[in-house]
Amino acid sequence: MKRIFPAICLLLVAATPFRCAAQVNPYKDGTPGVTGYRSEVLAEVMIQEDKFTRLAEAIPAEKYTWRPSADVRSFAEVFLHVAAANFNVYKLVGTPPPADFQAKGFEKSTTDKAKVIATLKDSFAHARKAITAMPDADLEKSMDWFGGKNTERGVLLFVVRHGAEHLGQSIAYARVIGVVPPWTEDMQKKQAEKTEKKDTPAKEKQ
């Protein structure tokens, strides 16, 4: 039983949506100024921002044009595609994109690592601003949506789902080129430190 319990704890940590170092943990630290459903959405967006940014920083600059096959997006294109959605979709809940934003061709606009990361960060700042500014009273407002109907609540859900989909894609890409997601690396290091301390003889600890 003593051996099973640590293993279960490790699995639970691995399943959590934030890294062990947890500099970003809106479930614990909250989302100041935002409550209710918007707070739940904002928490997910903040975690996605943290993971996308850390993963983008971990990918070598020369790999930003890498893609697993010719007919899918490269690293740079995936990151910029996510940024484009952050800039563009929130106009449906009241926050228009920046004046100089052009959706067409945006995801192919650069392959420079520093520029891609800066754009990604700016887009998540835009997303956080849009969610914070949106009135709760607007959540049930209806709109035309892909041949049917949706609410502004549904739009927020769509953006979160869209980001999660491409985060998973980016993680798979990273694994293929040998990059371990930084939050997984954090967990592995923490577990290794615990194991090392456990295995250190008592005399060496003194």
* Structural domain spans, the chain: 38-182
The reported pLDDT for the residue numbered 198 is: 73
142-172: pLDDT as tens digits? 999 999 999 999 999 999 999 999 999 999 9
Q: Is 20 a residue whose pLDDT tops 80?
A: no
The reported pLDDT for the residue numbered 33 is: 85
CB 36 within 8 A of CB 153: no
Mean pLDDT computed over every residue of the chain = 88
Residues 6+ apart with CB under 8 A from 25: 18
Q: Exposed, middle or buried, 147 (CB in 10 Å: 0-12/13-18/19+)? A: exposed
Q: Is 21 a residue whose pLDDT tops 90?
A: no
Please give the class, per CATH, of domain 38-182.
mainly alpha
Residue with tokens 């700042």: 125
Q: Give the pLDDT band of residue 200 (cuts 50, 70, 90).
A: low
The reported pLDDT for the residue numbered 92 is: 97
Residue 142, φ and ψ in degrees, nearest 5: -100, 155
CB 83 within 8 A of CB 127: no
CB 162 within 8 A of CB 44: no
Distance CA 151, CA 158 (A): 10
The reported pLDDT for the residue numbered 197 is: 74
Question: Which of residues 112 and 19 earns the better pLDDT score?
Answer: 112
Tokens of 142: 């209806």
> ∠ at Cα 165 (164, 169), nearest 5°?
110
